Structure 1
């Protein structure tokens, strides 16, 4: 899987390290749009609004967020692909829309080459949690798997959608353990988490930020996280790897992209603006409340990370046996 070590090796960088272009250009754009492929109120939207807020007056006189929700983020990608190359339209997206989707959609209307990498904005890990359907005695993944094997009618896990990274993590858990777990796809994390709290689904695989508010209240229990090491946002929760699932290590980065024919000057200006935004203390703090680690890198580093992760997804899709969709 694609873990944080691979991300760093492929060109990823923490927000306070590395070398980026500086904010230096003579004239700001009149208006810039940060396009997001998900509805307002979600994690990607929250990241985009923090980014756009910091880009105002520097990168552009007006910076707006445009939610182009639908088709699992593909509509936003299609929109940016066909946008002007002057830097006025940027795509903020989870990596999987660019790196994973080519493996699972046979009629995808865009290619990796249709976008110019700018910078990462943040990175995230995923968690596997259980709710009241599962007995309080279940404290670990092995406990959960034993319970699921003994209760096949309840052995299910939800995810934000079929073909998403959390879906694949759950599928790898099932395959690696030999325990059949029925996948329940949702349209985003919010409805899945609500069903988990309500006892309609036994487990849920999703971004850790969606679990954090409910861990404090005791409504949910998170049994594993997907990083190489424990996340500082939930330090008491062991990783999949710690619990014997060495092949389940994955971090997802959120990246900023321009249309594929953007000039080097435009790309460098955008990269500088993203770097300035995500290294701001208030943005770092705000992202942390969502379970996200602020992170920026150079266009060249992001291009390498895209290629590395795209190559890594192919074997995972094959191992899980996921049938590509049209």
Structure 2
């Protein structure tokens, strides 16, 4: 290859299009894949005093690799970890469904509002982000107090604590804190904007002429909504569900501040393994399994979606 051809290939490699496409991949490589590989490496090691042991050792002109699989075997054998994984997935799924139930009508209303009002509504959705996440979650401890918090007093005045007790969301009447109810409430409050924003972006681009055509063909407004609006907003639903579900699975702060002993989630287990037990390999193994539990179903889902779109 001549020098001119090499220079042309080099210019093509560093062209604007290549840089535009390559920058996100470089970001994912440095800040997502590389840290995960480091965690994966630690999961196969063992604690050597205050440090993590090396996987590779070189002695007598021989290279040895030592992988400790006991951490993963413990996860599969101990019911505590599996129950924690299941509970994390259950709370994350419930939070996603509640956020979708609340966020879809809200996003639909925003998308159908006059264009002059939409920026104000968007600001209202994003306004909580102007305050510290930790402070917003911690504030619910006072709001849900049955004696002093106005939310707790309101729920108690409506006798909703009896209903929550009947369905098992609180341990006793008037005790809203440190319960599955307070955990779900805190997670829904925190992650609801992540559901509303993708839905709003999808619904605001919906062609209203399709709804008019459906009604001209005899569909009622409710039928037009289910058969036209909801299918066309599936992309926003999937994006919002992933933005809510994935961080909820590994959530630590909300279960620690608002959850009780019966609301043990994988984020709290990770914290205990890392800092209370100082067992970094075990904590890394728990994190690797958690990532696989999320990534593998998502990869299968995206593959099926791609096949469906291709057909």
TM-score (norm. length: structure 2): 0.24
- Flag the structure with higher strand content: 1
Select the structure of larger CA radius of gyration. 2
TM-score (norm. length: structure 1): 0.23
